[in-house]
Amino acid sequence: MPLEAQLNTTTTSVSVSPRRKTTRFGPSASTARTCGKLPIAPYNNLNVCGLPDGGIAFISDRKPAYAYCWVVSSPVLYRMYRDGSNQKRLSANYLMAFTPSALDDGRIIFTRWEYIDKAACPIQSLWTIHPDGTNLAGFFGNRILAPGTFMDARSVPGSQKIFALATNHNWDCVGGIVQIDRQFGPNAKEGIRRNATTRSSRICIDR
């Protein structure tokens, strides 16, 4: 059973992250090309997303690293061709990257967790990187303590704004759906606007 799926309107394909330790991807039913997949392996590939150049970005825990505070592997960002070839690690992070997505300008936006010059728990902020692995840069929230995590970021078409899930650091990833406007600054609480929430969620924006 799939955990998630993303439609790439540029390549008319659907990327799927299943529960098994493999990532399948391929064209939608409207095309006749053959689907590809990453082979089953002793590691996890997940959070796939289509890229404007036709490639696939995903996270994988194939690198030998674990979170410092919990017995769990720490996947980072990779990319590959649509046929599964030329798999390349993009992120040099020693902890985790998750929920990548392609912005309108072609950059990959994703959530990055690391302990550099910050406390262990509160900050899991949004970063961007070019699809070739260059120009890694903080995007939003790298000095915001609450909410502790921004994830599942998506572009707002025709603007520089994004939507994201504002949630907690650990356990269930539930929270408010917020709109983020960076014109106020990369760490400005004024740039966060709450749009909607899940039925039982709570969100704290510490202003």
Q: Which domain holds residue 186?
A: 103-207
Q: What is the pLDDT of residues 194-206, one digit of tens each?
A: 875 445 444 444 4
The CB-based long-range contact list for 144-148 (8 Å cut-off, 24+ gap) reads 144/187, 144/189, 144/206, 145/119, 145/206, 146/122, 146/204, 146/205, 146/206, 147/175, 147/176, 147/203, 147/204, 147/205, 148/121, 148/122, 148/123, 148/124
Residues 198 and 141 in one domain: yes
- Say whether pLDDT at 190 is over 80: yes
Residues 76 and 107 in one domain: no
Residues 75 and 107 in one domain: no
Residues 200 and 155 in one domain: yes
Q: Indicate the number of domains in the chain.
A: 2
- Say whether pLDDT at 63 is over 50: yes
Which residue, 59, 86, 102, sits at the end of a domain?
Answer: 102
Residues 92 and 112 in one domain: no
What is the average per-residue pLDDT within 68-80? 86
Tell me the pLDDT band of 26, cut-offs 50, 70 and 90.
very low
Which residue, 72, 102, 132, sits at the end of a domain?
Answer: 102
Q: What is the pLDDT of residue 28?
A: 39
Tell me the pLDDT band of 60, cut-offs 50, 70 and 90.
very high
Residues 72 and 127 in one domain: no
Q: What is the pLDDT of residues 126-169, one digit of tens each?
A: 999 999 999 999 999 988 888 889 999 999 988 889 999 998 87
Question: How many Å apart are CA 85 and CA 149, to the nearest integer?
Answer: 32
Residues 11 and 55 in one domain: yes
Tell me the pLDDT band of 95, cut-offs 50, 70 and 90.
confident
Tell me the pLDDT band of 39, cut-offs 50, 70 and 90.
low
- Say whether pLDDT at 65 is over 70: yes
Residues 77 and 146 in one domain: no
Question: How many Å apart are CA 118 and CA 152, to the nearest integer?
Answer: 22
Residues 98 and 110 in one domain: no
Q: What is the pLDDT of residue 151?
A: 92
Q: What is the pLDDT of residue 166?
A: 92
Residues 94 and 124 in one domain: no
Residues 86 and 20 in one domain: yes
Tell me what the pLDDT averaged over the chain comes to: 78
For residues 89 and 3, the model is more confident at 89
Ramachandran angles phi, psi of 45, nearest 5°: -120, 125
Give the Cβ contact number of residue 73 at 10 Å: 15
Question: How many Å apart are CA 193 and CA 115, to the nearest integer?
Answer: 27
Which residue, 102, 124, 148, sits at the end of a domain?
Answer: 102
Residues 70 and 127 in one domain: no
Q: What is the pLDDT of residue 122?
A: 74
